[in-house]
Amino acid sequence: MITANNHYFELPANYLFQDIAKKIKIYKEKNPNAKLISLGIGDVTQPIPMACVEAMHKACDEMGKLETMRGYGPEQGYEFLRQSIVKNDYLDRNIEVAADEIFVSDGSKCDVGNIQEIFDVSVKVAIPDPVYPVYRDTNIMAGRKISYLPCLKENNFLPSLPDEESDLIYLCSPNNPTGTVMTKDELKIWVDYAREHHSIIIFDSAYKEYIRTPGIPHSIYEISGAKEVAIELRSFSKTAGFTGVRCAYMVIPHELKAKGPNGEMVKLNPLWSRRHSTKFNGVAYIVQRAAEAVFSEEGKKQVKSMTDYYMENAKLIREKLTSVGLTTYGGKDAPYIWLETPRNITSVDLFEKFLNEAEIVCTPGSGFGQYGEGFVRLTSFGTRENTIEALNRIGNLKL
């Protein structure tokens, strides 16, 4: 008899997120005129840069003409986009990455899950807690053993090296949900660990465009020796508002190796290339042209102004909450603010207070892992108007 992948039954049932969705629904039914404002959304609200819109229009016109239409493209991404990424995201920051180390995809979420296929199911995984839940759930689905690395106020929300030997380590900086970032020295500790233990780091820098503090690494390859031990994930979603357009990329350096069938070290870049071209048929030409436009002069200016807009929201959130006696973390180099609940109330209690007394939606930290308890995540992805209105309401709350 056929057996299901029973690891799916080991997934933490997302009662918390279901429960908060239910509470919001009930509140809306009871208060049909309520003007709820979400400070919980992880999605963008501003239109994508005009440079990208224009590039898409142009690419659409090309698709409508016999001489310029495109069919299947290269699975790994068009050369024009891979070269633009190499130049703008790496060489301009003095990092050497080759175009054939870049793999364009339809999103980092898929990359997080798919990359695991080139590793044996027995590899031991280390994941920070709280965390972007996709790292955890995709590994549970694959039946891997996970150790969790607590990220607490006491350690500045930075994971400490694992007690148990770990093969595959997920790191995210700027971090979702805590909004904190890793310095070069902090990241170097992990690169050194991975080199010593022959582990591989999956470094997710989906929010790199929000870094404002000079010296904070945008790429793990800013750390010497990282190309031998790290895969980097990048996404256009939060960089350029592409959450609905879908484009990301992953860097698999030629230096990266793992144990092969006869105990010898084998290169992972060709393995991933094989996997990508077997199971994926490339990102739409129109979308790749839009992504390329992110790196045009106009595109860069528009991306900066869009991320500045959100970061100004983040500043308003931090300042207002601090002025009413609350404690916040993050929000300086990331669009997320990690708000400590007052008087040790639970994150769900604070969520309910915000909802029932201020008509504001936030995300309870416990939804991101057990060590997220005692915090809620606020995002700066709202409109300015809504952000200011939400902050005024919080200012009037008795907390």
The residue ranges that bind ligand PLP (CB under 6 A) are: 42, 107-109, 132, 172, 176, 204, 206, 235, 237, 243, 248
**Cβ distance to ligand PLP smaller for residue 245 or 391:** 245
Report the 10 Å Cβ neighbour count for 249.
Answer: 24
**Cβ distance to ligand PLP smaller for residue 289 or 353:** 289
Which string of b and e fits 283-298 if b means at least 16 CB within 10 Å? Answer: bbbbbbbbbbbbbbee
Rounded to a whole number of angstroms, the minimum distance from the CB of residue 161 to ligand PLP is 21
What gap in Å lies between CA 136 and CA 369, rounded to an integer? 10
Rounded to a whole number of angstroms, the minimum distance from the CB of residue 67 to ligand PLP is 33
What gap in Å lies between CA 53 and CA 236, rounded to an integer? 14
**Cβ distance to ligand PLP smaller for residue 284 or 394:** 284
Separation of CA 196 from chain center:
27
**Minimal CB distance residue for ligand PLP:** 107
**Cβ distance to ligand PLP smaller for residue 358 or 364:** 364
On whether the CB atoms of residues 89 and 81 are closer than 8 A, the answer is no
**Cβ distance to ligand PLP smaller for residue 157 or 391:** 157
What gap in Å lies between CA 177 and CA 207, rounded to an integer? 11
Rounded to a whole number of angstroms, the minimum distance from the CB of residue 313 to ligand PLP is 17
**Cβ distance to ligand PLP smaller for residue 243 or 273:** 243
**Cβ distance to ligand PLP smaller for residue 85 or 172:** 172
Rounded to a whole number of angstroms, the minimum distance from the CB of residue 179 to ligand PLP is 11
Rounded to a whole number of angstroms, the minimum distance from the CB of residue 95 to ligand PLP is 20
Rounded to a whole number of angstroms, the minimum distance from the CB of residue 137 to ligand PLP is 13
What gap in Å lies between CA 160 and CA 158, rounded to an integer? 6
**Cβ distance to ligand PLP smaller for residue 85 or 391:** 85
**Cβ distance to ligand PLP smaller for residue 238 or 353:** 238
Rounded to a whole number of angstroms, the minimum distance from the CB of residue 122 to ligand PLP is 25
Rounded to a whole number of angstroms, the minimum distance from the CB of residue 88 to ligand PLP is 18
Rounded to a whole number of angstroms, the minimum distance from the CB of residue 44 to ligand PLP is 10
